Structures are given as C-alpha cells and as structure tokens.
Structure 1
Amino acid sequence: MPDQRWRKSSYSSSNAECVELLVGLGYTAVRDTKNRDAGTLSFSRAAFAAFLVGVKKG
C-alpha cells in the first residue's frame, strides 16, 4: 500500500493523534498516524460504510 495514497482528516490536529485511511477498489484500510509501522486494519467498503453510518447515528 503506497504511502502517497493514505489520507488523514483535515480536522486532525498537527500532533498526529488520528488515523489515516487508504481507500482502494473494494476495501478501506485504516492505520494509526502515530505508529504507521504497527500495521493496518482492512475492511470491505460495505463494512466501513456501515461503520460510518453507526458513528453518525451515535
């Protein structure tokens, strides 16, 4: 997964306390900005979309 495709929110602070996303064809990967070498979590696009719906609902 090339680093140039990773994105973090423009709302994140400059102290790097956030996660980064990599949206690929059929998947979304997530990693910790503070510890990029710790690995990634990968979700299907449908699973990640369902997660976002749940977050927005509270």
Structure 2
Amino acid sequence: MENTDLTRAEWRTSSYSSGNGQCVEIAVLTEVVAMRDSKRPSGPILRFTNEEFSTFVTAARHGQFDRT
C-alpha cells in the first residue's frame, strides 16, 4: 500500500468544504483511498484500505471524533 502509484490520482475535496483552507483531499483508487492536506499537496499522504476508510467515515458520521 505504501508504494501505491498516485501520479494519476484525481484529488477532490468534500462538497461540504467551506473553502477556508482547512480541508483534506482524497483520491479513491482501486486498492487504496489516499488522503492529504489541501494546503500542502506535496506533503505527507495517508493511505487506507477501502475497509479502513469506510470504518473511518462511519465513525466520523457517528460523532466519534467530535470534541466536547
């Protein structure tokens, strides 16, 4: 997964993004979902299996990362 070729990745931001520069971008490929900071596109990239990313999104939707 670490060596996944991302040169043809099509990066996108959420349609819920407010445009204030506090965004992440994702690229969905066959074997991985890649995520990066929109302000630093040449910076580090996180890679998730499809199952890992699905688990992350489900947890976020259920508020598991909300600050109290």
Q: TM-score, normalised by structure 2?
A: 0.74
- Aligned-pair distance for 1:17? 1.6
SS of aligned partner of 1:2: coil
Alignment correspondent of 2:18: 13
Q: Which has the larger radius of gyration?
A: 2
Match of 2:3 in 1: none
In structure 2, the gaps of 5 or more residues are 1-5, 64-68
Number of equivalenced pairs:
58
RMSD: 1.6
Separation of aligned partners in 1, 2:8 and 2:31: 18
Matches within 5 A, 1:23-42: 23-42=28-47
1: CA distance, partners of 2:8 / 2:37: 13
The structure carrying a bigger helix percent of its residues is: 1
User: What residue identity is the alignment partner of 1:11?
Assistant: Y
Identity %: 36
